[in-house]
Amino acid sequence: MPDNHYDVLIIGSGLAGFTLALHLADQKKICIVTKQAVDSGASSWAQGGIAAALSSEDSPSQHVEDTLIAGAGLCDLEMTRYIAENASQAIHWLINQGVNFTADQTSETGYHLTKEGGHSVRRIIHSGDATGQAIQQTLIEKIRSHSNICILEHHIAIDLITSDKLSDDQTPPQERRCVGAYVLDKKIGTVHTFSAQDTILATGGASKVYLYTTNPDTATGDGIAMGWRAGCRIANMEFIQFHPTCLYHPHAKSFLISEAVRGEGGILKLPDGDRFMLRHDARAELAPRDIVARAIDFEMKKRGLDCVYLDISHKPAVFLKQHFPTIFTRCLELGIDITQEPIPVVPAAHYTCGGIVTDKSGKTDLNHLYAIGETAHTGLHGANRLASNSLLECLVLAQSAARDISHHTSHSLPALPAWDESRVTDADEEIVIAHNWDELRRFMWNYVGIVRTTKRLQRAQRRIELLREEINEYYTNFRVTSDLLELRNLVDSADLIVKSAMLRYESRGLHFSKDFPNTAPLARNTILKKV
């Protein structure tokens, strides 16, 4: 192990963490901790692109307006303006790093811009249909070549270390600060203590709390759960975005069919070929994701369907292969030729709109702790994220967090206690973890999914309480493992989702309750705070 004292400790290896690291690397000693390979996070899975007002037909104010409409009254106006107004420079920073976005010589921008649901104009800059992968691979090369950045793969953070937990700390509660984290080396099972001047949670969302998701296995709500346990406020966790179109196939785990397929003319159909979206919204397939996902869910339940179909076979084959090479290839591998036949799709948990409350510098309630990306709640997404605003938020907020951290002067940190394993043993029945993991994801899908009721939420809450008791007993008595840590974080995240949902007595955006189907006249955030 290298020296475990750093200026900046970044937990997570997505676009948010990479962007922050590259902006600080010339002046700070940085460690990036990631629980799998450095390129395994959700950022690499992003297909569609990044929203930004780049053409003369567009403007930041128009981008703001579209975001506010999708957000169903809950977007923070100041934050939304800040991110939209900084979008163009963030895109050009990526271009300067060497990211190859899809070119279009007929466009005034020189790049092909596509349109997605909820957007009034074409403003999505992309790299084919694998934008996240193109960006991450470019930034990974920069990260690996920088002498001030250390990357620790296959390491998972256990918990944050806060100053008030140190025996000699006399600071008042409002001056509590984060001083580092305990981190498990997954390969050898050893827990290390990391101290840092500033710690950043950039671990992504919590969609693995659901049985069906478009997210990678890493999306277990780690940062949100750690921030909550450390005393940070959590906001709007009831707003889980279900992507309308995840490929439905027994061998296609978590494969997303990009929003851009509908943006380029894809039509949603029932098995008999009937186009149904116009019965649900005048914007049809280009309605915001919450509306499209609920429409698909309604049609599937009403007719007892396993899936619906997304048809773009009316477009030229050359166009489809050029614009959607990844989707074309993957579907063809599974026996689906998208140039000749429709794609079977179902909704799946996709994005966590809530998270740790931060300001526009990424600062949390805990001094020297930052949260950026999907882990954070900035107020940009409101009750429903507008397509392709997520990577944008990662870029802009990582840059503003880096500016804030760059002004910090180093302070001497106290000696941190080592991880105590003196009273634990090796687990004797790890099947308990697998069973609880499966049970949690199934009842969350059934009770806290696209359509909710108070009774379903109460059932979920009772089961979470029982699971928490078992997991806490396990955590107390046995040595920690990666599976146990992820399960612990998933249960905390599930609890936050259910508690938030039970506090919202209305239907708004991504939260739809049969018991409260109307939208309240006044939009309010759901804020959870530890007592």
Tokens for 514? 């049969």
d(Cα 136, Cα 303) in Å, to the nearest integer? 41
199 DSSP β-pair partners: 9, 369
Residue numbers annotated as active site:
289
- The three-state secondary structure class of 110 is coil
**Which residues does 174 contact at the CB level (< 8 Å), separation at least 6?**
none
Tokens for 325? 């090479």
Q: What is the DSSP letter of 421?
A: -
Task: Give the neighbor-by-neighbor strand order of the sheet with 124-125.
Answer: 50-51, 124-125, 113-114
Rounded to whole angstroms, what are the CA distances from 9 to 16, 155, 165, 291, 388? 13, 13, 19, 39, 27
List alpha helices for 50-191, DSSP H. Answer: 60-70, 77-85, 87-97, 131-145
**Opening angle at CA 347, ends 341 and 352, nearest 5:** 140
Tokens for 250? 């027994």
Nearest to 219, CA basis, from 209, 202, 206, 200 = 206
Torsion of CA 378, 383, 388, 393, to 10 degrees: 0
Q: Are 512 and 294 in contact (CB under 8 A)?
A: yes
**Which residues does 205 contact at the CB level (< 8 Å), separation at least 6?**
42, 215, 219, 221, 224, 351, 352, 355, 374, 375
**Which residues does 513 contact at the CB level (< 8 Å), separation at least 6?**
451, 452, 453, 454, 501, 504, 505, 506, 507
Nearest to 518, CA basis, from 528, 508, 510 = 508
Nearest to 387, CA basis, from 138, 63, 42, 112 = 63
Q: Are 193 and 417 in contact (CB under 8 A)?
A: yes
CB-based contacts of 335-343 (< 8 A; 24+ apart in sequence): 336/249, 338/312, 338/313, 339/313, 340/313, 341/311, 341/313, 342/269, 342/309, 342/310, 342/311, 342/312, 342/313, 343/245, 343/247, 343/257, 343/261, 343/309, 343/310, 343/311, 343/312
Q: What is the DSSP letter of 149?
A: E
Tokens for 97? 């790093």
